[in-house]
Amino acid sequence: MMGNGFHSILVGVDESANAQKAFQYAVKKAAHENIELVIASILESDEINVYQALDDDYLRLARKKTEENLRKYQQYAYDQGVQTVKLFSDEGAPAERIIHHILPQTQCDLLIIGSHAKHGLKDYFGTSASYMAKNAPISVMIIR
């Protein structure tokens, strides 16, 4: 069943409550409509201080944790009945990386994101979610 004609969903995940809600919604929609789910996680470069950036072990562990978290999200989606789940990880500013790097690599036609990211006021709706809504070449659903 192809509901609104969407074929593939891209959902951005982090540890924020709104991102978790967006992920839950995306999983339900993908399972219900039998469409592909692409899960993206960004290692945010502005969270890493200069000493951590110079520490290869710190970066390796941070990347490993990101990959492990993505695999947990993937398994959850499979357990909920999603048939096809792809994973993408990247580093940098989340909104820019999702729009300009991850989205062009996918065939997604719906982006689902949380309205607030994990940084509180800095990533309040006025920045990341708004940037993605304005710059995505596909439909965007913002979950609160």
Q: What are the tens digits of pLDDT across the range 48-74?
A: 666 666 677 878 888 899 999 999 999
Residues 6+ positions from 30 with CB-CB distance below 8 Å: 9, 36, 37, 77, 82
Residue range 92-141, pLDDT digits in tens: 889 999 999 999 999 999 999 998 755 444 444 447 899 999 999 999 99
CATH of the domain at 135: 3.40.50.620
Domain tally, the chain: 1
Q: Which two tokens stand for residue 11?
A: 């959902």
Q: Which residue has the higher pLDDT, 43 or 80?
A: 80
**What local confidence, expressed as pLDDT, does residue 1 receive?**
40
Q: Would you say residue 1 lies in a domain?
A: no
Give residue 23's pLDDT band: very low, low, confident or very high (50, 70, 90): very high
Residue 42 lies in a domain: yes
Per residue in 80-96, pLDDT (tens digit) is 999 999 999 999 889 99
Q: How far is CA 112 from CA 27, 53, 92, in A?
A: 10, 30, 19
Residues 6+ apart with CB under 8 A from 9: 26, 29, 30, 35, 36, 37, 38, 108, 110, 111, 112
128 within domain boundaries = yes
Contact by Cβ (8 Å): 116, 123: yes
Q: Which domain holds residue 59?
A: 8-143
pLDDT surpassing 70 at residue 79: yes
pTM of the complete model: 0.86
The SS3 of residue 101 is: helix
